[in-house]
Amino acid sequence: MTLGLLIRKVRKEDREAVYALIASAFERKDEAELVERLWEEHAIKFERMAEISGVPVGYCAFTTVTCKPDLSGLLLGLGPLAVAPDHQKQGVGAALVEEGLKLCRENNARLVAVLGDPHYYERFGFEPAAKRKFTWAGFDAGDAFRIIAPEDDDFDGVDPEEIRTLRYHPAFDMVS
Ligand SMILES: CC(C)(COP(=O)(O)OP(=O)(O)OC[C@H]1O[C@@H](n2cnc3c(N)ncnc32)[C@H](O)[C@@H]1OP(=O)(O)O)[C@@H](O)C(=O)NCCC(=O)NCCS
């Protein structure tokens, strides 16, 4: 892990810097505006920022996702995840994901979904959602849509072949 890296809660007064950080990581404002809307709608279950010597260098959010057919319990989606360009490839993203997944476990999340680079996310234990009979409500993301869930959870499956659809908060629809 990067020397001096601190993963901590996001305070209201951090929001401006976090917005700028997300926009610089994605090289556009869409994801920063998404997070702003999630803040406005109190839609974030957990969020953490990474800082080095007081400078914000990373951010990740976890929001609740819905499932059809219904599934009980806490269902979460990871994203957005952003690391400032100058601090990428130094383990900041991994530290944020690992801390976030720890929070998910502590809060007994039943599953955590993610949409992103399969090569990046598989190292944390995310497996293709299709393997567990889940799909994303958006386009067919193939291997890029992944989940983490305990292996022995059969998801109340009356019909083990039934495909379940996971949907992120509607604010995510503004990002393509
Ligand atoms: C994707 C993103 C969040 C990853 O964050 P990051 O902090 O760069 O990620 P990590 O450092 O944990 O890992 C990235 C790579 O650096 C490597 N790495 C980690 N620590 C390292 C170190 N100390 N020295 C060299 N390489 C290192 C990792 O092994 C990994 O390599 P690989 O992906 O080629 O296997 C970041 O690149 C980003 O913000 N991108 C723009 C926004 C984006 O696309 N977000 C994701 C949307 S799903």
Rounded (10°) angle between helices 15-26 and 30-40: 150
Specify the amino acid at residue 153: D
Which of ligand 1's atoms lies nearest the C-alpha of 2?
Answer: 23
DSSP 117: -
Q: Read off the pLDDT of each residue in 147-170 and give the average, rounded to a whole number.
A: 86
Domains of the chain by residue range:
5-174
Residue nearest to atom 14 of ligand 1 (CA): 89
Q: How far apart are CA 164 and CA 175, in angstroms?
A: 23
Reduced to 3 states (helix: H, G, I; strand: E, B; else coil), residue 151 is coil
Protein residue closest via CA to atom 48 of ligand 1: 116
Query: What are the tens digits of pLDDT across the range 22-69?
Result: 999 999 999 999 999 999 999 999 999 999 999 999 999 999 999 999
CATH 3.40.630.30 fits 5-174, yes or no: yes
Dig out the tokens for 134 from the structure.
Answer: 């889940």
Please tell me which residue, 112 or 163, carries the higher pLDDT value: 112
With cut-offs at 50, 70 and 90, classify the pLDDT of residue 174. Answer: confident
Q: Tell me what pLDDT residue 67 has.
A: 96
